[in-house]
Amino acid sequence: MRAMKACVVDDDFTSRTLMRDYLNDMGWDVLLFNHPDGTPEPDNKTLPDALSQDDINLLVMDVRFGKDAEGVFKGLKETKKLAEKGHLSSRCKVIFISQFGKDIDEFEKVKKTLDEKGIENWWLDKPLDFVELDGIIQQVPEN
């Protein structure tokens, strides 16, 4: 059985590390990114490269990396762009995480794009409910 692969994007070192350790304990291979347009630790692939080339099954995306000029949270905006440019496909599931609650209007725009492309997605608030997280992860099929 081949290991499932995930990308975890979070600007908080502790959150990134905890999610990596949690997924590793479940048998997942994990690439870590500190920003949607940053490079992973310790690799040098960009997030779009990893999603396009590495058979990624799961993207865990922190929502807040500040807002862009239009006031959209960068995690949401970058995920939408990844889907629109074909880096995210229906084989990759997305979990959005945030400790600041949900911007319903912006999330619904991103969700609509993901839904149209057949990309399953969920929203979880921090601190994470690991029972709920585990239930979602169990739904992610192998490629």
pLDDT value of position 99? 82
Asked if the structure places residue 142 within a domain, the reply is no
Q: What's the structural domain count of the chain?
A: 1
Whether 61 contacts 91, CB under 8 Å: no
CATH code at 103? 3.40.50.2300
> Which residues fall within 8 angstroms of residue 87, CB to CB, at 6 or more apart?
47, 48, 51, 52
pLDDT value of position 9? 93
Torsion of CA 82, 52, 6, 95, to 10 degrees: 20
Supply the pTM of this predicted model.
Answer: 0.91
pLDDT value of position 41? 61
- Domain membership of residue 113 as a residue range: 5-137
Asked if the structure places residue 56 within a domain, the reply is yes
Whether 8 contacts 16, CB under 8 Å: yes
Asked if the structure places residue 143 within a domain, the reply is no
Asked if the structure places residue 11 within a domain, the reply is yes
**Mean pLDDT (10-residue bins), the chain, 143 residues:** 85 92 94 79 79 89 74 84 93 91 83 96 92 92 74
pLDDT value of position 142? 76
pLDDT value of position 16? 92
pLDDT value of position 2? 59
pLDDT value of position 11? 87
